[in-house]
Amino acid sequence: MSLSISAQLRQNFYANSCSNVEAIVRGEVAKKFSQTFVTVPATLRLFFHDCFVQGCDASVMIASTGSNKAEKDHPDNLSLAGDGFDTVIKAKAAVDAVPSCRNKVSCADILALATRDVIAMSGGPSYAVELGRLDGLSSTAASVNGKLPHPTFNLNQLNSLFAANGLSQTDMIALSAAHTLGFSHCDKFSNRIYNFSRQNAVDPTLNKDYATQLQQMCPRNVDPRIAINMDPNTPRTFDNVYFQNLQKGQGLFTSDQVLFTDTRSRPTVDAWASNSQAFNQAFITAMSKLGRLGVKTGRNGNIRRNCAAFN
């Protein structure tokens, strides 16, 4: 990623064109948040899934057409909750309803702002968002292949995927803590509670009581759409309890628990489990780096009138 691109991002990018864009977006996000808490994890996850595939350009929001299967229809994106898309679409409509702002603000920037807002609304840190992204001009399901982390990943796989995006192990551990919010589905971790290996039906790194609980919530032939909280203790609060859970063997995915079981990442987990301020700071740093990925400027992008379709 060239520095010239990220240098074009700046905090007051819309000062002259749409000066109250942040307040407009925040107002819409707050409205949506009051309707359903899913707004929070759905928006945060949408931002991550967008940025890791072709950069933060809202390409994940494009709807498929007869001639193009878009990013959102790749298997890795089918579990993105509709509330994230809806949050951005409603905020975009509110921004475009202000005559001076119409067609001035990208869907990519609105998604970045909405993500910051949902984190703050659920108890997390607030931070200044750099703006100036354009919306991407392509979105294909094929482009998603191998770009997103899987629940079964070990530390080497996580580190190399994040390193490919210029993110360090520390950034990766901080961003993994997004799993302090929201939910997953039984089929994403059933291997850990029923057929882990020849020697162990249950993953030995799982807390035994927690494993029993998960088996009760996810019996063998359960509807795979049953939702299970990622954080069994404070699922609606953005906090460092995620790391305390890992210390107790309560990471839902292999890719969560490995952050504690692997001695290379454990010191960071331990540090943040006891120091929420240090974690919040690392999270802000990681989110800012994430938001600079593959930013489109100039002829490489435009401002979409409809976030779900190319102009």
The annotation status of 57 as a binding-site residue, yes or no, is yes
The size of the chain, in residues, is 311
On whether 249 is known to bind a ligand per the annotation, the reply is: no
> Is 180 one of the annotated binding-site residues?
yes
Is 234 a known ligand-binding residue?
A: yes
Q: State residue 136 phi and psi, 5-degree precision.
A: -70, 160
Q: How far is CA 102 from the centre of its chain?
A: 27
As a whole number of Å, the end-to-end CA separation of the chain is 26
Q: Which residues contact 33 (CB under 8 A, 6 or more apart)?
A: 39, 40, 118, 121
Residue 53 known to bind ligand = yes
- Residue 130 annotated as binding? no
Whether residue 96 is annotated as binding a ligand: the answer is no
According to the annotation, is 22 in a ligand binding site?
no
Question: Is 150 considered catalytic here?
Answer: no
Rounded distance, CA 8 to CA 131, Å?
8
Do residues 58 and 111 touch, judged by C-beta distance below 8 A? yes
Check the annotation: does 71 bind a ligand.
Answer: yes
Q: Which of 49, 74, 150, 185 is catalytic?
A: 49
149 annotated binding-site participant: yes
Q: Give the residue ranges of the annotated binding site for heme b.
A: 179
Known binding residues are 50, 53, 55, 57, 59, 71, 149, 179-180, 231, 234, 239
Show which residues are catalytic.
Answer: 49
The binding site for Ca(2+) consists of: 50, 53, 55, 57, 59, 71, 180, 231, 234, 239
Residues flagged as binding site for substrate: 149
